[in-house]
Structure formats: C-alpha cells, structure tokens
Amino acid sequence: MCSGDLGIECLGLSRSFGPREALAEVDLRVRRGSVVALVGSNGAGKTTLMKILATLLTPSAGTAKVLGHDVSKAPMECRRSIGYAPAEERSFHGRLTVLQNLEFFASLQGMRRTGFRAQSMPLLETFGLSQHAEKRFAELSSGMKQSLAMVRSLLHDPPVLLLDEPTRSLSPDLAHHVWDLLRGLAHVQGKTILLATHNLGEVEAVADEMAILHQGRLVIQGTADHLCQTHGVEGTPKSAALFRHFIRNPRQAVAP
Ligand code: ATP
C-alpha cells in the first residue's frame, strides 16, 4: 500500500498524560474508501487517538497524518479534511435550535448560508431530525443529540470521518440505517472512516478491517477473515472471537 492510498496514517504515535501512557507507538493505516473499526477495552486509548487525528490533542511522539497532512505541521488542512463526531457531545449550545447550532458550526467551516441550508436539510432527514429542526438542543433526546453530532460531522462533506461510538444511543432501526449510510460513504463515495466502537455487531456490519487497541498499544489490524486465518482463531462472529482472543492474549499479536 503506498501512502497516497491512505486517508489516515499513524506511525509510532504516542501520547502520555503525566506518567500515564494513553497511546504507545501506534502504527495504524486506513485506506481511502474503507472503514476501520477501532475496538478495545475501556481506557484502551481509542478516544485519545481520535482526538489527535481531530487536532484536539497533540502527540507526545510519532506522527499522525490525514490525507498526507501532518496533524502537528498542517492542522488547518487536517481540520478541513475531517468530520469528527465525538462520543460525548458538549459543544452544542443548549438554548439554540438544531438549525441555529448547525449554522454556527457551518460558519466555522466557512460554508455559505445557502450551501448550509441545501446540505443540512437532507442530512437532518436522513437522521430523522427534520421535524426537530426548530427545537432547542437542550430539548432533544440523547439519541437525537448523538445524531446531530453525526449531521455536523458530515455537513461540510469531508473526505475523512472520525466517529467515536456513533450509534451508542441510537435505536436499532436508526443504527442499521447509519451503518448502511457509512458503507455507502466509504465504498461508493470513497470516504475514509475510522470508527471507535464497543459494539462488535457494528464491526461486523460496517468495518472492512478491525484494529484492536490494548492498554494504548495496537495489537492487531486487518480483515477479520485474514486475522482469523493467520492466527488460527475460530468462532463466530469473527470480530468477537478475535476480540476475545487478543484481549486475553495481547502478546500473541504480530505487528500489522
Ligand atoms: P472508553 O472506551 O472507556 O471510552 P478509550 O479507549 O476511549 O476508553 P481514552 O479515553 O483514550 O480511552 O483514555 C486512554 C487513557 O488515557 C485512560 O487511561 C484515560 O484515563 C487516560 N486519559 C484520557 N484523557 C486524559 C486526560 N485528559 N488526562 C489524564 N488522563 C487521560
């Protein structure tokens, strides 16, 4: 794989918080037009990795690139290229309506008002939010708030998506709808998607590859079929069998 094919590339990426090493020498690659699911136990470092790629945290060592742009050297180019939906949404304004919130974030992305309207309404429709467009953010349910974070991440049509537990609060029907959407965004539109999740059903449904983080280290990355075959892991669904195997035996992994 040459680096021009990569939407995301991390090499030796590390991040410490005081004495705690949240990420240690992570090498991760996500091909353009593919979905990689990032899985790992609580505190494994998934959100830290996402935040570094979203330019919200700086690396302690190593490099992280988005479409070839280094997050430390070219943060503006990275920000323009990514849509980030965090696991916990705290940046919306409770007193503003759904549309007013989106308009605010669209202006930060340099979108014109006309473009904003044309792009936001179909997205709100997709996420079942069109009838709530005039509702204040504070009045939305937690699933609606999470859906709005996804709408915001897609609004400026970025080529790279960083989605941290995107369907955690969604009803099963909406979650399936989002999975269909993500597959289309990657495989038809060619977007690069890194998806952090605890839902192994989500991994089976949308991911081309899975990457397992354990205590800040990337223990394995690849397609579930290839990983099962290479490491003699049996069981279904394959992502669950791999997760069990490598979380119990992280040292058996071979660097991807
Ligand atoms: P979860 O699945 O529970 O959301 P995660 O895999 O996303 O976890 P992170 O949130 O990236 O894990 O945290 C990785 C490690 O870094 C944890 O040990 C966490 O306590 C620590 N950590 C994260 N942010 C900070 C911070 N701002 N200050 C100190 N430690 C932090």
Q: What is the DSSP string of 178-247?
A: HHHHHHHHHHTT--EEEEE-S-HHHHHHH-SEEEEEETTEEEEEE-HHHHHHHHT---SSHHHHHHHHHH
Nearest CA to ligand 1 atom 16: 22
pLDDT score recorded for residue 123: 93
The predicted-structure confidence for 75-106, as pLDDT tens digits, reads as follows 999 999 999 999 877 889 999 999 999 999 88
What's the average model confidence in pLDDT over 230-247?
Answer: 93
Q: Give the nearest ligand 1 atom to 45 CA.
A: 11
- Shortest-distance atom of ligand 1 to CA 51: 11
Yes or no: say if 160 and 84 are a contact pair by the CB < 8 Å rule.
no
CA angle (89 as vertex; 193, 174 as ends), nearest 5: 60
Q: What is the mean pLDDT of residues 188-198?
A: 97
CA of 174 to the centre of ligand 1 (A): 28
* Ligand 1 centroid to residue 168 C-alpha, Å: 18
Say which amino acid occupies 96: L
pLDDT at 114: 74
- Residue 116's pLDDT band (boundaries 50, 70, 90)? confident
Using alpha carbons, select from 23, 56, 25 the residue that is nearest to residue 40.
23
Ligand 1: list residues with CB < 6 Å.
17, 20, 22, 40, 42-48
In this predicted structure, what is the pLDDT of residue 108?
A: 85
For position 131, what pLDDT does the model report? 95
* pLDDT top residue among 71 and 87: 71
Higher pLDDT pick, 95 / 3: 95
Give 9 Cα–ligand 1 centroid separation in angstroms: 21
Query: Tell me, what's the pLDDT at 150?
Result: 95
Residue nearest to atom 27 of ligand 1 (CA): 17
How far, in Å, is the centroid of ligand 1 from the Cα of 135? 33
Cβ atoms within 10 Å of 47's Cβ, excluding its own: 20
* Contact in structure between 45 and 23 (CB atoms under 8 Å): yes
pLDDT score for 172 = 94
Going by CA atoms, what residue is nearest to atom 20 of ligand 1?
A: 43
Sign of CA dihedral 86, 216, 8, 187: negative
What does pTM read for this prediction?
Answer: 0.94
- Mutation pick for ligand 1 pocket among 13, 14, 20, 38 (CB with most ligand atoms within 8 Å): 20
**Tens of pLDDT, residues 206-221:** 999 999 999 999 999 9
Strands across the sheet containing 160-164: 82-85, 160-164, 192-196, 35-39, 209-214, 217-222
Give the pLDDT of residue 93.
95
The overall average pLDDT reported for the chain is 93
Q: Are 155 and 123 in contact (CB under 8 A)?
A: yes
Q: How confident is the model at residue 68 (pLDDT cuts 50, 70, 90)?
A: very high
pLDDT digits (tens, 9 = 90+) for 139-169: 999 999 999 999 999 999 999 999 999 999 8
Distance 169 CA to ligand 1 centre (A): 20
- Could you tell me which of 247, 191, 169, 166 has the C-alpha nearest to residue 34? 191
Count of alpha carbons within 13 Å of 47, Cβ hemisphere only? 11
How high is the pLDDT of residue 117? 78
> If you measure from the C-alpha of residue 51 to the centroid of ligand 1, how many angstroms do you get, rounded to a whole number?
11
Predicted confidence at residue 171, as pLDDT, reads 92
**Which tens digit of pLDDT belongs to each residue from 29-60?**
999 999 999 999 999 999 999 999 999 999 99
Reading the block at residue 177, the tokens are 């709808």
In one-letter notation, the amino acid at residue 114 is T
